[in-house]
Amino acid sequence: MVLHLLGLLLWSLLSALVLGWFWGWGVALAGPLLLAWFWLGQHLWRAHRLDLWLRTGSAQEAPALGGLWRDLSDRMRRQLHQRDQQVQIHTDRLGHFLQAIQASPNGVTLLDAQGRIEWCNDSAALHLGIDPQRDQLQHVVHMVRDPVFSRYFAQERHDSEVEIEGRTATLAHSVKLSVQLHAYGQGQLLLLSRDITAVQQAESMRRDFVANVSHEIRTPLTVLMGFVETLQSLPLSAQEQQHYLELMAVQSSRMQALVSDLLTLSQLEGSPLPGKAEPVALQPLMQQVLGDAQSLSALQGPQGLTPVHVLEMSPTPDWSVMGSRDELLSAASNLVNNAVRYTPAGGTIRIGWTRNASDQVVFSVKDTGPGIAPEHLPRLSERFYRVDRSRSRETGGTGLGLAITKHVAQRHGGQLRIESQWGQGSNFMLVFPASRVQGLQSVG
């Protein structure tokens, strides 16, 4: 700027001297004045263009100016470009941050100081029934119509979370939400929500499981304690004492079976999935299953020596299932033993392995028992679920056999299927994918 002014003064002085020498000193004074006005007008025009660009233009649209103004415009253009870069960086970061919040399964709602909705992610919209565009700047209490939430919002402190009903809850499907308010900024509030339906269901299942285990153990334990008190307080003959001891042994065996099934179920749920490296030959496995079933059937007879059921097992193919032998033995034995327990004496139980039209391998146990009503079929594999509790206790069942069988099937990539009609027997099936079985090529 100083150089430009010095240049202008020097040029004006030289012009005045030249004009004064040739045209007189009056003209010499008018020339620099006109030159100064011309210089001032030129700079005012460039300043106007620069001002107009700063008001409405972008960093890429800098005007083409000369001299001093070109230097100023170049510097400003570089600064504006750097500013635009910083703004773009912050905009991208904000976009990534909002994308991360949108991807969160937890709901996030931003409220202003009056409790009005400024923004929410998709999870919060689903949890609370909010339309992010339509309900913007609506008071959150008016949108979340829950008395518990209204009282919670009215509190001065929000140190803990509260549970409310989700907006998608129905009579058939309960949805529970946990919500909590957090203060931030200048009086604004952050409302966090998360779906705790699965957590509550798991907690309910845990309570039911503990209650069922306690009940199942308490019943034989109460009987056992009664027999002990009888033996301690009454003078009994040797034959009577032997009778009570046999009854006590039955109850002890029942508790032992329950504890064993509980341990098995716990091991299945907590252990890694069985791999495909260990082939389990089906022929010896089925021989053991058949032998155990015959022994159990014989125990239901008057002498305890001869099976009271017709056990028909079709020839077992030379196949091997990849997985855990102990688990497969437990699953197959549970199905066959259940058929023996619930089929009346003289009934028929058919056991066999086949390959169905969907290229799956099926282990089937068909009985001629009383069958199962349709309403019970979906719940048969639940822990401790029984169609007839008194009948189950008479046969020595723990209520965990089908739950164990279902877990084993799933751990081997298969499933448990049940077909039954009341009065026409039942068919329990373990269905495995062909990829789990070796030797299928030998059967075409």
Which residues, in sequence order, are bridge partners of residue 313? 351
Domain boundary among 72, 100, 128: 100
Q: 3-class SS at 428? A: strand
- With contact defined as beta carbons under 8 Å apart, do 369 and 384 qualify? no
* One domain for residues 221 and 186: no
> Cα–Cα distance between 65 and 268 in angstroms, integer?
81
Hey, what are 78's tokens?
A: 């570089």
Nearest alpha carbon to residue 182 among 106, 90, 95, 104: 106
* One domain for residues 281 and 359: yes
> Cα–Cα distance between 141 and 139 in angstroms, integer?
6
Domain range spanning residue 250?
Answer: 202-271
Tens digits of per-residue pLDDT, 177-230?
999 999 988 889 999 999 988 888 878 777 877 777 777 788 788 888 888 888
Tens digits of per-residue pLDDT, 247-298?
888 888 888 888 888 888 888 877 788 877 789 999 999 999 999 899 888 8
Domain boundary among 251, 271, 291: 271
- What is the DSSP annotation of 65-92? --HHHHHHHHHHHHHHHHHHHHHHHHHH
* One domain for residues 143 and 82: no
Nearest alpha carbon to residue 425 among 374, 378, 364, 370: 370
* One domain for residues 44 and 127: no
* One domain for residues 286 and 434: yes
Count of domains observed in the chain? 4
* One domain for residues 425 and 367: yes
Q: Which residues contact 340 (CB under 8 A, 6 or more apart)?
A: 293, 296, 297, 300, 309, 349
Output the pLDDT for position 409: 92
Strand (E) positions, 305-441? 310-313, 320-322, 348-355, 360-367, 415-420, 426-433, 437-438
Q: 3-class SS at 196? A: coil
Question: Is-above-0.75 flag for pTM?
Answer: no
Residue labelled with tokens 């202003």:
112
Q: Which residues contact 105 (CB under 8 A, 6 or more apart)?
A: 123, 194, 195
Helix segments in 308-400, DSSP class H: 325-342, 389-395
Output the pLDDT for position 288: 93
Output the pLDDT for position 444: 44
* One domain for residues 134 and 119: yes
> Cα–Cα distance between 146 and 191 in angstroms, integer?
15
* One domain for residues 297 and 310: yes
- What is the DSSP annotation of 105-130? SSEEEEE-TTSBEEEE-HHHHHHHT-
* One domain for residues 290 and 415: yes
Q: 3-class SS at 184? A: strand
Hey, what are 369's tokens?
A: 């028992």
Nearest alpha carbon to residue 308 among 351, 347, 277, 356: 347
Output the pLDDT for position 301: 76
In this prediction, the residues of the chain whose per-residue pLDDT falls under 50 are 1-2, 27-28, 391-392, 442-444
Domain boundary among 215, 243, 271: 271
Q: 3-class SS at 431? A: strand
Tally: H helices and E strands in the chain? 12, 13
Distance between terminal CA atoms of the chain? Answer: 97
* One domain for residues 281 and 406: yes
Amino acid at 267: Q
Nearest alpha carbon to residue 135 among 117, 121, 153: 117
* One domain for residues 80 and 131: no
Helix segments in 234-360, DSSP class H: 238-270, 282-299, 325-342
Q: Which residues contact 21 (CB under 8 A, 6 or more apart)?
A: none
> Cα–Cα distance between 254 and 292 in angstroms, integer?
17
* One domain for residues 154 and 242: no
> Cα–Cα distance between 139 and 150 in angstroms, integer?
11
